[in-house]
């Protein structure tokens, strides 16, 4: 997510008991500051020598001692740690031994074992723990536990297991896109058919059709993010996305998670103005408030990512707040976009401000209605004085007097007879695509953010001009050509068409099927099969719906992606940008089961490997973490050239199909490129 501090100081609540003896000591005696001690521990960890770091089997903040503690395998290493100002304990197992044991456990677990719901390294106890819900044990569980204990694993038995506290979509609560780190819920909304959704950040929803979860570890599914690949934007247009809530157990709520602050129920939406006091709810910084300093201001995050028309505020924010809701009183105003690398209270510099995407733009783009509660049940007044202000052979222009509302009018629906013709936010509209020399009757309804609609305006009748409407199609695109191929895509370009009115866009056809629609003169058709010939054509469209003739066909063949044997490669460059995920795929034609281990070689450049999470996703959908950001404070080191990872495949993992490499950048200020990767399966 865009907000991620390289030094994460966790705000864990601690209860400090002052003994009766200390109570009678000098009232002026200074008491230790737990937060300061914790911050000092993070700074100490960041400053550890590389030699010592290479010997660590774990580290943690010891609240009772108020210091960083590290686990090391030898007394010499312990003496070195103490010399560097931290506590040390000598342990039996090295980090490599723990990793090997955990790898064996993962191999045994494969796709899952009944009742086994957590596994990992306990750094304090220097052991691998497996936790099992005994109420769900089967014979398969017993067989697994016998083998796990044989590896020296510590088994914890319980009668239940963690679960989501409530299946409620609530502003500010966390959600997880697939296996990535969490984002925050913006606002619950519904579509015209009553379908359930919630709004969040576009950089949280950039993967098409990605599972969305309400609990870490890909548990407690909520629904699907960016359905069809058309419900996410993270570009000049904005930073906004939609998650479809498909699981019946989840309900939508207008109640904001204010993290212990006074309760708020969303009653509608608004546009913030400079000087407004706004607040936001997010999973990391919780509930934070500040003043709007700028509206409609652009930001350049580097790496070519520029976003326009954002609102900048003095409120504090942190990583993991991405997508959370911003409010003006009880009105929704925005979705959290980004901010500094650390939380800054009362900032004086613009680079310490937090930024949000106006929410009304997202609601309009996907024709969604906020889920609201509270008191706004009053409908706007009907639009007055509807009138025709001009006609052509194929269109009628209309105007009307503004409606009023107890809160605010957010838009107008224009009806052609009983059919919705267009929706606008102002008091004028032009209805196009009409027949020449024909009478039409129009009415207008106003609506507010709570979904209340006015009565229809008085009807206005207008007749289109005699003659013919725009029936002239654009010219066919010329010089269609392939500009590049990968194992799964073909990039195309062509010369622009002309039209008597104007070209509105182009359809790219793969054979007889429309593969994509674009407004410019380039396109990339993805999702193709490796080492396969394709024939593409393009046709132009105008605003009246006229289609040009098809262009001449161009033939292109995808690359094989196969470097021999069972190794498959993708050599396409993908930028690794702050708080985004670089995604590259290879298509394996190997048969049978995936080999053990699977080998992944990654050629990439990046200035801070500690920022990166690297994951391999199998055709089955299983996610195999290859590298994880360590958490806490750390120093940056370059990503090594030609880094190789090995993966133990889950039970039943087949070799054939699409394998995906995902590199997520979770830190600010560093750039890189994924230049190539190979999979030996």
Residue 394's pLDDT band (cuts 50, 70, 90): confident
Residue 1's pLDDT band (cuts 50, 70, 90): very low
Share of the chain above pLDDT 90, in %: 23
Share of the chain above pLDDT 70, in %: 85
pLDDT at 460: 96
Residue 202: pLDDT over 70: yes
Specify whether the CB–CB gap between 167 and 541 falls below 8 A: no
Instruction: State the DSSP string of 500-545.
Output: SS-EEEEEEEETTEEEEEESSSEEEE-SPPTT-EEEEEEEEEETT-
Spatial separation of the C-alpha atoms in residues 644 and 488, rounded to whole Å: 23
Whether omega for the bond prior to residue 597 falls within 30 degrees of 0, making it cis, is yes
Q: To the nearest whole number, what is the mean pLDDT of the chain? A: 81
Residue 502: pLDDT over 90: no
Spatial separation of the C-alpha atoms in residues 528 and 482, rounded to whole Å: 15
Where do we find the tokens 């005696």? 29
Residue 511: pLDDT over 80: yes
Residue 524: pLDDT over 70: yes
**For the ranges 492-496, 506-510, 542-546, the one whose mean pLDDT is highest:** 492-496
Tens of pLDDT, residue by residue over 318-336, are 878 899 999 988 899 999 9
Spatial separation of the C-alpha atoms in residues 330 and 262, rounded to whole Å: 11
Estimate to the nearest angstrom the gap between the alpha carbon of 250 and the chain centroid.
20
| Residue among 635, 640, 110 nearest 627 (CA) | 640
Residue 197's pLDDT band (cuts 50, 70, 90): very high
Specify whether the CB–CB gap between 160 and 133 falls below 8 A: yes
Specify whether the CB–CB gap between 232 and 205 falls below 8 A: yes
Mean pLDDT of 420-437: 83
pLDDT at 461: 95
Range name among 113-117, 418-422, 661-665 with the lowest pLDDT average: 113-117
Mean pLDDT of 637-664: 86
Spatial separation of the C-alpha atoms in residues 392 and 398, rounded to whole Å: 12
Where do we find the tokens 């997202």? 362
As given in the structure block, the two tokens for residue 597 are 């281990």
pLDDT at 364: 92
Spatial separation of the C-alpha atoms in residues 253 and 188, rounded to whole Å: 7
| Residue among 146, 149, 88, 97 nearest 121 (CA) | 97
Tens of pLDDT, residue by residue over 14-64, are 222 223 323 333 333 345 555 456 557 656 777 788 888 889 988 877 766
Would you say the pTM of this structure is higher than 0.85? no
Specify whether the CB–CB gap between 57 and 123 falls below 8 A: yes
565 φψ region: left (φ > 0), alpha (ψ -120 to 50), beta (else): left
pLDDT at 163: 31
Dihedral of the CA atoms 519, 520, 526, 529 (nearest 10)? 120
């Amino acid at each position: 997510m865009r907000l991620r501090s390289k030094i994460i100081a966790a705000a864990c609540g601690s209860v400090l008991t002052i003994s009766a003896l200390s109570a009678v000591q000098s009232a002026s005696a200074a008491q230790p500051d737990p937060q300061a001690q914790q911050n000092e521990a993070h700074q100490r960890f960041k400053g550890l020598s590389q030699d010592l770091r290479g010997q660590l089997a774990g580290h943690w903040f010891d609240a009772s001692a108020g210091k960083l503690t590290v686990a090391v395998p030898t007394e010499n290493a312990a003496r070195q740690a103490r010399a560097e100002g931290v506590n040390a304990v000598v342990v039996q197992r090295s980090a490599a031994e723990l990793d090997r044991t955990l790898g064996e456990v993962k191999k045994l677990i494969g796709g899952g074992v009944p009742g086994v719901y957590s596994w990992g390294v306990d750094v304090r106890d220097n052991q691998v723990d497996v936790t099992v819900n005994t109420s769900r044990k089967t014979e398969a569980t017993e067989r697994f536990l016998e083998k796990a204990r044989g590896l020296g694993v510590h088994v914890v038995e319980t009668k239940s297991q963690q679960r989501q506290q409530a299946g409620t979509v609530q502003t500010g609560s966390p959600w997880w896109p697939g296996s990535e780190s969490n984002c925050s819920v913006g606002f619950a909304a519904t579509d015209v058919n009553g379908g359930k959704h919630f709004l969040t950040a576009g950089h949280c929803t950039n993967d098409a059709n990605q599972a969305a979860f309400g609990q870490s570890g890909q548990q407690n599914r909520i629904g699907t993010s960016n359905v069809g690949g058309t419900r996410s934007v993270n570009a000049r247009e904005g930073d906004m996305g939609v998650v479809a809530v498909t699981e019946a157990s989840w309900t939508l709520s207008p109640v904001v998670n204010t993290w212990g602050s006074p309760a708020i129920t969303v009653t509608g939406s608004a546009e913030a103005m400079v000087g407004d006091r706004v607040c936001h709810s997010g999973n990391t910084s919780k509930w934070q408030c500040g003043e709007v300093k700028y509206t409609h201001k652009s930001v350049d995050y580097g790496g070519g990512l520029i976003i326009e028309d954002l609102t900048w505020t003095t409120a504090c924010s942190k990583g993991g707040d991405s997508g959370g809701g911003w409010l003006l009183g009880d009105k929704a105003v925005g979705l959290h976009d980004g901010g500094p690398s650390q939380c800054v209270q009362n900032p004086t510099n613009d680079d310490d401000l937090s930024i949000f995407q106006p929410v009304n733009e997202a609601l309009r783009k996907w024709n969604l209605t906020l889920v609201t509660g509270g008191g706004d049940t009053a409908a706007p007044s009907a639009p007055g004085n509807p009138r025709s202000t001009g006609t052509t052979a194929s269109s009628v222009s209309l105007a009307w007097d503004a409606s009023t509302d107890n809160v605010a009018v957010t838009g107008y629906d224009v009806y052609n007879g009983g059919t919705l013709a267009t929706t606008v936010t102002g008091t004028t509209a032009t209805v196009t695509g009409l027949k020449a020399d024909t009478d039409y009757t129009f009415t207008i309804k106003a609506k507010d953010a709570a979904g209340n609609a006015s009565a229809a305006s008085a009807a206005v009748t207008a007749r289109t001009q005699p003659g013919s409407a725009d029936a002239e199609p654009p010219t066919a695109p010329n010089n269609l050509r392939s500009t590049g191929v990968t194992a799964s895509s073909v990039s195309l370009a062509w010369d622009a068409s002309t039209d008597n009115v104007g070209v509105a866009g182009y359809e790219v056809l793969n054979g007889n099927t429309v593969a994509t629609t674009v407004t410019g003169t380039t396109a990339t058709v993805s999702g193709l099969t490796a080492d396969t010939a394709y024939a593409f054509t393009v046709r132009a469209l105008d605003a009246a719906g006229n289609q040009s003739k098809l262009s001449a066909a161009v033939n292109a063949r995808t690359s094989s992606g196969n470097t021999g044997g069972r190794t498959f490669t993708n050599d396409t460059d993908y930028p690794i940008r702050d708080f985004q995920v670089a995604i590259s795929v290879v298509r394996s034609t190997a048969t049978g089961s995936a080999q053990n281990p699977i080998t992944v070689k990654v050629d990439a450049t990046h200035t801070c490997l500690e920022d990166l999470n690297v994951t391999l996703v199998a055709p089955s959908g299983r996610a195999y973490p290859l590298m994880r950001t360590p958490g806490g404070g750390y120093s940056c080191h370059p990503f090594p050239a030609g880094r190789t990872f090995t993966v133990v495949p889950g039970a039943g993992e087949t070799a054939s199909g699409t394998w995906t490499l995902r590199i997520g950048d979770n830190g600010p200020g560093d750039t890189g490129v994924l230049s190539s990767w190979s999979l030996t399966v």
